[in-house]
Chains A and B, each alone.
Chain A
Amino acid sequence: MSVNWYLVVSALIFSIGAVGVLIRRNPLVVLLCLELMLNAGNLALLGFSRTWGDGDGQIFALIVLVVAACEVAIGLGIVVALYRKRLPIDVDELRELHG
């Protein structure tokens, strides 16, 4: 199995995630799409790790997972705070940084 197939799948998933970030207005969905993009990157890393035969890619993928988890935690926290303050849960409406 050449690594190309994995890269194509990774690119496909990345594009779907990117388009989702650009098009969707609900922050939760934006966060989901961000996750898609990150995991697409992970897939590419794992593929390359298998190609070169060492563990660098896999370790890097683990670090990416950690970062993704932290970022999602904070993002979800912000969404919950928005809900509590009864602000519109819409990325287009939320453009001024006060409140």
Chain B
Amino acid sequence: MSLQTAAWLVLAMPLAGTILIALGSRGLLTGKASGWLGTVAIGAAFVFSLITLVKLQDLPSEERHVASSLWDLANVAGVQIKLGIYVDPLSTLMILIVSGVSSLIHLYSVGYMASDRGYARFFAYLNFFVFSMLLLVLAGNLALLIVGWAFVGAASYMLISYWYRRTTATTAGIKAFVINAVGDIGLVLGTFFIFREMGVLDYGELFGGVQEAFPKNDASLVAAMILILVGAFAKSAQVPFHTWLPDAMEGPTPVSALIHAATMVTAGVYLIGRLHPLFEWAPTAADVGVITGAMTLLIAGTIGLTATDLKRVIAYSTMSQIGYMIMAVSAAAYVGGFFHLMTHAFFKALLFMAAGSLIAAMAGEQSLDKMSGFRKAMPFTFGCFVVGGLALSAFPLFSGFFSKDAVLYEIGQRGGWYVVVYVIGYLGSVLTVIYTWRMIFRAFWGEPCEQARQLEHGHLYHAPHPVNPMTGELEDSGVGFPGEEHHIAEQTWQMKWAMSVLAGLAVIGGVIFLPFGIMDSLETFLEPAFADSIIEHPENKGLEGLGIGLTSVLAIAGIAAAYRIWVQRPGTSAQLQGRFAAVHRLFVNKWYFDELIDLLIVRPFAWAGRWSRDSFERIVVNGLVVGGSTGVVKAGSAAVRAMQTGLLRGYAALVIGGLAAVLLYFLIRSA
């Protein structure tokens, strides 16, 4: 099997999965069959990704970028859009992460979604999402990237509104889609700016030709890259395009785990990494990326400190961690950035899965205010939370420790003003540790709540009537709602297995890239993809040591502080809220971004629509233009109609008078 075939099969597997599940959903596939079919499809994609990896490593280092295309989607007027893929170490890393984590989440979902009425639809959508993400990552030219980008957005919309009878879910879905569409526009417009000078869309030609086509930091190129950053920010939920991500938690938890933690939101990171030759040639745009990543990191961290919905805390955490990654790849810290992407996929997916289990135990309730003391009732879930939390907090020797360290070290290596960013990164670490352990301590320590007590006796809590956890609206168990049944990890083997694998990876996943050069297999692997990078990374052992020390200290101190505030002295957090009330309000209201966007964008457009309909259409178009022209015609015909009197004598008079006039005329003429 050749490299190209393996790569195409990676794409084909989830697509086949979607189509087969969709076709079979009307009767052929019963019970959990569609779930297993979906999981097997993604598992097969993972296997083919491994084959691709092996074949890629067989090639000599300079040749590890292979393009392959099937046919031309369009080839007219000098614009050629191929249906083509590009396989290099970066895309191979991405397809491994995507297919690997996706298959585990599929396995988890087989158990978690088991009593949902729309089971087959879920797996069809989930497979379609994986296909879209793989297409995005494997695409070989900007146009196909945009197609994959949009498919991912569409899949995200379909999965966020999965429980479509919930108005909160459908609103969240359309919000996510529209913000994503704005990102798409940024991507397309950026592509136009690039295409205007270069005339090509394929990666190979773009990367090779950018330095000839544009002078360094040329205004046109910077504009193009900033527009592309808009696309990246919208997809990766960076400020100010992030408002869709917390709302996206309306989707079922596996969706949050897969799309909004491990894969889709990392697409922006991949984009910047993939287009790095262009970003490095337009440093202003790259700096915009760094600054935005840094801002998001902090803002999201502060909101996570005060959020009370369990999934939203994890969502803001994701936003913050992606801020790290965006910061990293914009600052040319590629290995660190993608290393963190990988470990983050592991521990964040794990955290979401565990959260799903906890929410199931609460019968759909997601508020931290109502959860407490689940340690004894859910030992496995608790263990997963702890492992995920330790990895997220960059606790020494966990995977998150090595990856966050790598990110910040590589940024620090650049020196200059990047020192500020370095410091912000560590500030963010403090926030990360605190909000993570706030969440864990609140949910698992303290007096067991009603649901926990029932579970300790082996009885899974069921709410008297299914409701929407956000609004309290009554629901039922039909299709389009989650229904009454819930599944927790302790009782569902699929969930347990998937979470165990991820927990293991969260612990040992850091081994592929250790500091001080002890192990650099990831760097060596990614080297051919970033060989054309023009940014230097001088080694600095002192900085490396400082980084490791600082990370460890902050992690341990942070956990201790959180323990103090939320376990040892329970009233402390209320005191702090009282003392910093204004700041607290700012954080709780998510820095008022939703309100700002509503004021600046939503309301003007709504007003424009209303004005058009009520005033303009009625008065100008109907009154003036249509009324005017038809009025003229009607007046004309009315005038002519007035001549039809029906009076016989009148007509006779006309005839005789006219005849006499004509005769007289000729008579006078001839005389």
Contacts and interface: CB of A to CB of B under 8 A. Distances in A.
A contacting B, Cβ–Cβ less than 8 Å? yes
Interface of A: 18, 21-22, 25, 30, 91-92, 94-97
B652 A92 contact: no
B23 to A, nearest CB: 66
B232 to A, nearest CB: 76
Contacts of B653: 22
Given A92-B648, A96-B646, 8 more contacts: A22-B652, A22-B653, A91-B649, A92-B647, A94-B646, A95-B645, A95-B646, A97-B646
A21 B645 CA distance: 18
Given A18-B656, A22-B656, A94 B649 contact: no
* Chain A, interface SS category: loop
A95 B652 contact: no
Interface size on B, as a range, is under 10
Nearest to B660: A18
Contacts of A94: 646, 648
* Chain B, interface SS category: helix
List 4 A-B pairs, minimum CB-CB distance, nearest first.
A95-B646, A91-B648, A21-B652, A95-B647
A94 B648 CA distance: 8
B644 to A, nearest CB: 9
A35 B648 CA distance: 17
Interface string B231-247: 00000000000000000
Nearest to A30: B648
B649 A22 contact: yes
A30 B656 CA distance: 14
Contacts of B656: 18, 21-22
Contacts of B647: 92, 95
Nearest to B656: A18
A92 B427 CA distance: 103
Interface in B617-648: 645-648
23 contacts: A18-B656, A21-B649, A21-B652, A21-B656, A22-B649, A22-B652, A22-B653, A22-B656, A25-B649, A30-B648, A91-B648, A91-B649, A92-B647, A92-B648, A92-B649, A94-B646, A94-B648, A95-B645, A95-B646, A95-B647, A95-B648, A96-B646, A97-B646
Contacts of B645: 95
Contacts of A30: 648
A82 B653 CA distance: 23
A18 B652 CA distance: 9
Contacts of A25: 649
A18 B663 CA distance: 15
Nearest to B657: A22
A18 to B, nearest CB: 6
A21 B649 CA distance: 7
A18 B656 CA distance: 8
Contacts of B648: 30, 91-92, 94-95
A97 B648 CA distance: 12
Nearest to B653: A22
Nearest to B652: A21
A95 B648 CA distance: 7
B658 to A, nearest CB: 13
B654 to A, nearest CB: 11
A96 B653 CA distance: 18
Nearest to A21: B652
